[in-house]
């Protein structure tokens, strides 16, 4: 009955029937497979994993079950267990294409791109697929082998021209190698590539036309960090246009109003109605904020030579100085977690335990980590001060950052905010960094006040933390000697 309902598209009824089947016979493997497939098709990967796990228990030599369980666990970021099942599937059936593909995806996420390449290449040999070619390209990109990565993205797009994963990541590869001419042009395809609807305020898209005597609306897209970073292009746009309207996330509204006083700033959510803009008619053009660099960052020389395009609230800065009450000691903000499971948080985060040598320094440390309160800092031994919920208000956070002598952070919004405020920020980067940081070097063109501390080929954080502690010692020594 469950299969019949599935064929008729009645998925809820199908699930009910399959659930009844396993209720009456918990060892009935076809029903577990059917339930897992239904959950998987609807994005419920944790539930799918439960049923694939049951199949594995009932039939330990079922390579397909191990393969599917590997995928479901990968989707829920349970990478270590996913890896075990991927390896087991290959041990049972070395020619199982999906097993090699899925294991390759997991190995990328745990920071082993070289091994990922081996398995994804094998999957591609067994069965040429666009998705596998794109996965191989991702692994090459993680290794810094950008020529091979771009060639593999090209192969993926020959096999499937509308594969969004390859489109957007090929753009990232060009941007990572600082080929901005090609990179920004490719980046313009991001909406179609990600299936995101381009927001329409009813005005033509700006394509570089003269803006003298004209009004342009720049509207929000992507996350807070991206909005902050792309806002570095706004000062150059403002001098060209007669009037600039900025639509931003409501958490950025106060900060943007103060920083760009000659503009109209409207804060809100991307899901809000767009008719508010009609009160500012006539508006001649519109542009998503992520498209600004195409016109103002054509090459590295076009980036700002100094930062400081955002301005913290002076009164808030003074209040934080009083609240911190620190004299004759360096005050350092810390952030150690970045991203989410689907934005490579596993690779971007540093265990707090590894900050031990840094916390031994003669300084006052302040938590900038979102969602962490004092009870979550046992590993810091009471060395980190916390101010609950300060990260929820970006205007308050900007004021706090502006009082600090230094920010030490993994790749997250704190980096973008500190860089935009022109505050010294030391960035802890994995060996597979986001495109905005480039592949090598200690500097990023986006933020002149940032210094990059990169993992080496061993992909370990310990040497990074040792280097950072040494740099802080040197900084203190120079301050004491006045050099």
Structure confidence at residue 238 as a pLDDT band (50, 70, 90): very high
- The pLDDT value recorded for residue 481 is 60
**Average per-residue pLDDT for the chain:** 93
Phi and psi at 111, nearest 5°, equal 80, 30
Residue 318 lies in a domain: no
Residues 226 and 130 in one domain: no
Structure confidence at residue 482 as a pLDDT band (50, 70, 90): low
Do 135 and 120 meet the contact criterion of CB atoms below 8 Å apart?
Answer: yes
Residue 263 lies in a domain: yes
Mean pLDDT (whole number) for 422-432: 95
Q: What is the pLDDT of residues 320-372, one digit of tens each?
A: 999 999 888 999 999 999 877 667 777 889 999 999 889 988 899 999 998 87
Residues 150 and 234 in one domain: no
pLDDT at 51 > cutoff 80: yes
- The pLDDT value recorded for residue 200 is 92
- The pLDDT value recorded for residue 294 is 96
C-alpha to C-alpha distance for 34 and 31, rounded to whole angstroms: 5
- The pLDDT value recorded for residue 338 is 87
Residues 104 and 249 in one domain: no
Domain CATH for 110? 1.25.40.10
Residues 158 and 219 in one domain: no
Q: What is the DSSP letter of 43?
A: T
Residue 197 lies in a domain: no
Residues 363 and 225 in one domain: no
Residues 15 and 121 in one domain: yes
C-alpha to C-alpha distance for 443 and 15, rounded to whole angstroms: 54
Domain boundary among 156, 191, 226: 191
Strand ranges of the sheet holding 215-219, from the earlier edge strand across to the other edge: 264-268, 243-249, 215-219, 285-288
**Domains held by the chain: number:** 3
pLDDT at 480 > cutoff 80: no
Question: Bridge-partner residues for 216, per DSSP?
Answer: 244, 285
SS3 sequence, 333-351?
EEECCCCCHHHCHHHHCCC
Residues contacting 350, CB < 8 A, separation 6+: 336, 410, 428, 461, 464, 465
Residue 205 lies in a domain: no
Query: Is the model more confident about 3 or about 236?
Result: 236
Mean pLDDT (whole number) for 152-173: 96
Residues 160 and 17 in one domain: yes
Q: What is the pLDDT of residues 187-197, one digit of tens each?
A: 999 999 988 88
pLDDT at 124 > cutoff 70: yes
C-alpha to C-alpha distance for 235 and 229, rounded to whole angstroms: 12
Task: Write out the H or E segment, with its range, that includes residue 402.
Answer: helix 394-403
pLDDT at 477 > cutoff 70: no
Domain boundary among 157, 191, 225: 191
Do 303 and 282 meet the contact criterion of CB atoms below 8 Å apart?
Answer: no
Number of helical (H) and strand (E) elements in the chain, helices listed first:
23, 10
Tell me the residue range of the domain where 293 lies.
215-302
Domain CATH for 360? 3.40.50.2000
Q: What is the DSSP letter of 204?
A: P
Residue 392 lies in a domain: yes
Residue 317 lies in a domain: no
Q: What is the pLDDT of residues 180-232, one digit of tens each?
A: 999 999 999 999 998 888 899 999 999 999 999 999 999 999 889 999 999 99
Residues 248 and 287 in one domain: yes
Structure confidence at residue 478 as a pLDDT band (50, 70, 90): low
Mean pLDDT (whole number) for 242-258: 97
Domain boundary among 158, 191, 224: 191
Residues 176 and 231 in one domain: no
C-alpha to C-alpha distance for 178 and 172, rounded to whole angstroms: 10
Residues 223 and 187 in one domain: no
Q: What is the pLDDT of residues 259-286, one digit of tens each?
A: 999 999 999 998 999 999 999 999 999 9
The distance of Cα 192 from the centroid of its chain, to the nearest Å, equals 19
Residues 296 and 441 in one domain: no
Residues 343 and 220 in one domain: no
pLDDT at 449 > cutoff 70: yes
């Amino acid at each position: 009955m469950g299969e019949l309902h599935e064929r008729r598209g009645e998925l809820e009824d199908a699930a009910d029937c399959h659930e009844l089947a396993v209720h009456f016979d918990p060892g009935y493997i076809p029903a577990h497979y059917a339930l897992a497939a239904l959950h998987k098709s609807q994005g419920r990967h944790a539930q799918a994993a439960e049923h694939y796990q049951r199949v594995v228990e009932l039939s330990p030599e079922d390579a397909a079950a191990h393969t599917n369980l590997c995928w479901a666990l990968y989707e829920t970021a349970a990478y270590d267990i996913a890896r075990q099942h991927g390896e087991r599937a290959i041990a049972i059936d070395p020619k199982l294409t999906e097993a090699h593909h899925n294991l390759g995806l997991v190995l990328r996420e745990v920071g082993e791109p070289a091994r990922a390449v081996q398995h994804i290449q094998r999957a591609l040999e067994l069965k040429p697929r666009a998705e596998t070619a794109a996965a191989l390209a991702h692994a090459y990109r993680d290794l810094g082998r950008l020529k091979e990565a771009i060639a593999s993205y090209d192969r993926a797009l020959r096999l499937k021209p509308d594969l969004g994963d390859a489109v957007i990541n090929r753009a990232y590869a060009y941007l990572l190698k600082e080929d901005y001419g090609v990179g920004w042009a490719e980046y313009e395809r991001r909406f179609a590539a990600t299936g995101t609807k381009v927001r329409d305020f009813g005005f033509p898209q700006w394509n570089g036309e003269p803006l003298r005597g004209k009004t342009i609306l720049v509207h929000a897209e992507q996350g807070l960090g991206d909005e902050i970073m792309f806002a570095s292009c706004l000062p150059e746009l403002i001098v060209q246009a007669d009037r600039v309207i900025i639509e931003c996330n409501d958490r950025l509204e106060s900060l943007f109003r103060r920083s760009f006083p000659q503009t109209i700033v409207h804060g809100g959510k991307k899901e809000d109605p767009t008719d508010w803009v009609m009160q500012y008619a006539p508006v001649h053009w519109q542009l998503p904020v992520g498209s600004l660099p195409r016109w103002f960052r054509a090459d590295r020389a076009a980036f700002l030579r100094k930062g400081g395009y955002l301005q913290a609230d002076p009164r808030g800065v003074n209040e934080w100085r009083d609240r911190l009450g620190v004299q004759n000691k360096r005050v350092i903000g810390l952030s150690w977690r970045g991203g989410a499971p689907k934005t490579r948080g596993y690779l971007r985060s540093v265990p707090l335990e590894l900050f031990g040598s840094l916390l031994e320094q003669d300084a006052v440390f302040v938590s900038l980590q979102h969602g962490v309160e004092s009870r979550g800092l046992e590993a810091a031994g009471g060395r980190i001060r916390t101010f609950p919920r300060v990260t929820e208000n970006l205007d308050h956070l900007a004021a706090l950052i502006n009082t600090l002598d230094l920010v030490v952070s993994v790749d997250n919004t704190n980096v973008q905010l500190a860089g935009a405020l022109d505050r010294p920020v030391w960035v802890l980067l994995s060996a597979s960094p986001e495109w905005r940081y480039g592949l090598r070097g200690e500097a990023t063109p986006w933020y002149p006040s940032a210094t990059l501390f990169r993992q080496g080929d061993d992909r370990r954080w310990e040497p990074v933390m040792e280097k950072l502690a040494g740099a802080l010692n040197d900084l203190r020594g120079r301050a004491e000697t006045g050099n």
